[in-house]
Structure 1
C-alpha cells in the first residue's frame, strides 16, 4: 500500500475544526483565506498520497470560499499547479483574466502564483486534487493564463484519461508498494503535460511560439512513455509527430540538452530509480539497464558514472544500505 495520510474533522473538538482545515489546506496546497457563513460544526475529510514530487489528495467538505491574494502569494508561493477533478458540487471562480463556473466532471486548474477567488455555489463538495511543482512541468509564464481557470472536461480526451487514472488510484492503493510512489508521480506529470498540450493546441490563433512549446511538451511526454523502446531515436520521434528530424532538433534548442541527451538523461533517471528501489534489489543490474535502453553493460556503466559519480553497483549498494 502507498504511504497515505487520512484526516477527518470529526477527530477534533467542534470549535477547532474549521481553523485546522484552513491550516491543513495551507500546507497541502498554499496559504489561502477560507470563508464560510457558519464555521460551527464544520465537517470535512482529506486523504493524501505523496507520490515523489507530486501530491494527490481526495477531499469532501461543506461549501466554502477560497481566496488567494497577492499578499499571500508574496508571503509564500510553493510554485505549483493545482488540478481539481470535481466529483460533486458546483462553484464559480474568478481570476484577473477569467471568470468561470464549474460542475461535476470538470477539471479545474489553478496556479499558486496567480490570485483567485473560488466559491462553492451548491451543496457539499467532493473532489480529487493534484499538486505538481512547476519545475516538474515547465510551462512558460505567458501560457499559464490560457490554462489556469479554464474548466476542462473529464469525459473525453486527455482529461478523461487523467480522471480515470486518479480516480482508480485514490479508490484503491493496496496494489502498490511505497516505492511505487515516485513512478506514479512521473506518470501523473506526463498525463498533465499531455492535457495542457492538448488544451493549448485547441486554442484559437495561438502564436507560433505557443505551438512550438506545446509540441515540445507533447514530445517529451512521448519520450517518457517510450524510454524502454530500443528504437526510440530522433528519427522515430520525428516520424511519430509528423515533423522532420531537423525541426525536432530545432525544438530542443531551447532545452538544456539535445534530443539524444534528453533521452539518455531520462533513461538514466529511470534506471537510477529502479536500482535504488528495495523491491527490485534482486533484479540484475544489466536487466534494469536493458529495460531502460542500455543493452551494453559497458555503455551503461560509463554513462551512469559520468552522470552520478558512482558505478551502478556502488550506487545501488549505498542506497539499499540506507534502507536497512
Structure 2
C-alpha cells in the first residue's frame, strides 16, 4: 500500500489520507481491507466483493485520534480472540454517524442508529458494528486513561445512542464533526484542551446516566472532579500518585479534594486503587502480557507491593490474580 500523505484541506484538516480513488478497480477490495486494517487494528472487517470507493482520513488531536471514514457497506467485528491479539483495548471510540444507517452491538445492547446520532463503544470488550449501506462516520478515539472513567461507569454509555435533538447529543455531534474535520491543525496546547473537553463531556454523560448529575453540587466542583479523574487516569502508573500530589497539581487543598469526592461514595485513594485494579485485570487477560510476572503487571500500574496487590485484587474480584489470568488466558 502506498504510504498515506499529510494533506491539509479546505476544512483545515491536516492528516493522513487513504483512498481507493487512485487504485485500479480490480485492486480496490484488497487495498480497502488493508487500509481498514491499518487504521483499526485487530478487527475483523467484512467488505463487499466489489469495492467502488473508500476514504479514510486520520489526524492527531493531542492524545486523541480523529478519523473520518466513508465508503461502501461493511461490517466490523471485534471478538475476545481479537482483543487478546491486539493492543487497542485501552481505547474508547466516540463516533458520529454522519451519513447512512447502522447497527451496534455491545454490552448486551443491540441498537439501530440513524444519521446524526452519536454513539460510544469500548474496544476492551466484544463489539459489532454493521453499516449496511454507503456511509460516512466521524470518530474520536480516546485512550481510556484520558477518560478517567471506571469500567462500570463506561458501560453506562456504550451502545446508547445520543440523538442530535437532545442537548448533549446535539453538542457532541457538532463537536465530533468539527474536530474530525480540523484535527491536526491545532497547536499542541489547544489540542490537549479540546481532547480534555471531549473527555469531560463523556464523563458528564456517564454521571447523568448514573443519576449523578451533580444535583446540589456547585458546577465548579463538578468540573474540577472531571479534571481530577482525567488526571488520575493519566498518572495511574505513577506509584507516587497521592491525594497530596493531586491537590497540588490542581492548586487546591487536600481537604477540598476529599470534599469533592464525597459525592462519589468513595475516597480519592480508593478511586485510584480501583482504576489500577481494572488496568491490571485487563493486562492479566491480555496476550501481550502473558510473559510478564503478576508482580510486574502490578508494578506497571503503580502497586509497590505484590502482596498488597494480591490482597486487594482478591477482595475486589473474589479470586486471586493468578486465578483470573488462568480463567481468561487467550
Alignment of 1:190-229 (within 5 A): 190-201=200-211, 219-221=224-226
Alignment of 1:106-185 (within 5 A): 106-121=117-132, 123-172=133-182, 176-177=186-187, 180-185=190-195
State the shift of 1:89 in Å.
Answer: 0.8
TM-score (norm 1): 0.61
Structure 2 residue 68 is the aligned partner of structure 1 residue 68: no
Alignment of 1:173-322 (within 5 A): 176-177=186-187, 180-201=190-211, 219-221=224-226, 247=262, 251-256=267-272
Larger radius of gyration: 1
State the shift of 1:234 in Å.
Answer: 7.6
In 1, Cα distance between equivalents of 2:223 and 2:106: 27
| Compared CA separation, residues 132 and 157, structure 1 to 2 (3 A) | same
Aligned length: 235
Secondary structure (helix, strand or coil) at the match of 2:155 reads helix
Contact 2:66 2:179 in 1 (8 A): no
Query: 2:284 — aligned with what?
Result: none
Structure 2 residue 100 is the aligned partner of structure 1 residue 85: no
- Which runs of 5 or more residues in structure 2 are unaligned? 1-11, 214-220, 231-246, 274-330
In 2, Cα distance between equivalents of 1:178 and 1:166: 18
2:114 is aligned, of 95, 103, 115, to 103
In 2, Cα distance between equivalents of 1:70 and 1:52: 29
Query: 2:60 — aligned with what?
Result: 50
1:16 is aligned, of 2, 7, 27, to 27
| Compared CA separation, residues 17 and 198, structure 1 to 2 (3 A) | farther
State the shift of 1:119 in Å.
Answer: 1.3
Secondary structure (helix, strand or coil) at the match of 1:93 reads strand
In 2, Cα distance between equivalents of 1:28 and 1:175: 20
TM-score (norm 2): 0.60
Contact 1:234 1:248 in 2 (8 A): no
In 2, Cα distance between equivalents of 1:11 and 1:187: 37
Secondary structure (helix, strand or coil) at the match of 1:42 reads coil
